[in-house]
Structure 1
Amino acid sequence: MDSTDIIKLLLCTLTVIAAVGFAGTIYHLREICRALTKPEAGGSSGGMETHRGTGLARSTPSLEEIDPRNAGNLEECLGTITEKYGLASFTLATADGLLIGSTKAGAEDEAARCSYLYTQGKLQDETGAELLGIPHHGEVVIGIIRPSDPLSAELASALERDTRNALQHWV
């Protein structure tokens, strides 16, 4: 291997490092942009306001129930619930791990894994998703929520109520 081959190898390595660094920078800038525009996307039509510096969540005065009849299907209704409560994602699964509905694509594995964790008595998975048991027709439906900010007890109760209403209408 002569000096030109070494220089070529060095230049290729530097090119790969620069490309990876550029991709990482773009990814983080996109996440920052998404975080900065999120409060505007939710609007002020009820839901959750957050004290940014403290990480504490408080409910707004208007926690009107979501009418599932206004949605075209269960996923649309879950999307409305996700927006109302400021969730990153919301998935519903049966106790034996079958996916009922989700706001994120490819949630089948998450449904199976989190349902198993819930049956083992865990209320949170290793990634920070919160697990809720929602009674429906004598069975327990597992709600897998990824809140963007902590939910107060009042909001968690209202979320469960809206989810029960959606399940009664769509399932």
Structure 2
Amino acid sequence: MLSLSISRRSAAPMRCRPCFDVVLGARQTVPPLAAYIRRPFASSRALVAAAVVSADHTVLDVSKRCEHTTTETPSRKQLTTKEQVDELMDSFAEACELLTDAKESVGTTYFADDIEDAENQTQDVLKRWESLQADLEHQGAAEQLQRVRSMYELKIKQLKAEFETVREAGGAG
């Protein structure tokens, strides 16, 4: 009964419930639902063990992975160059907004938080930029790499310079 109420409250799927089958002679019994201990809020991959007792063997141990309890993001499919550029520019726009907020808050108590947010977003932009260039180099698309660099490299350099200027203006350098 406890297991049912926990399951209803958390809306956790029942597909990962361990199965304890006890074999007595030729008769197989399954314990009632209340005998299961469930952890619906597990944050990492958990191994659930199931034991089978039979006349021939004392205990057999079988493990099953509960994939729905993982906190990892599923592996993403390989993004196209256009999708990578779109994500880069979205991240760039966000970094510019955060830098504007940080500029406006120079000399206030909010500056430390604003410059930290701007720094994190700027680092994300730089990471995406390096990743995009590395992917294009790995693909051997020299012409496309040159085109992307000519279109976006100046923006990236300007973002870095603007971040440093704001950080120095706030005394966080």
Both structures adopt the same fold (TM-score exceeding 0.5)? no
1 or 2, which has the higher strand percentage?
Answer: 1
1 or 2, which has the higher helix percentage?
Answer: 2
TM-score (norm: length of structure 2): 0.32
Higher relative contact order (CA 8 A, sep 6+): 1
TM-score (norm: length of structure 1): 0.32
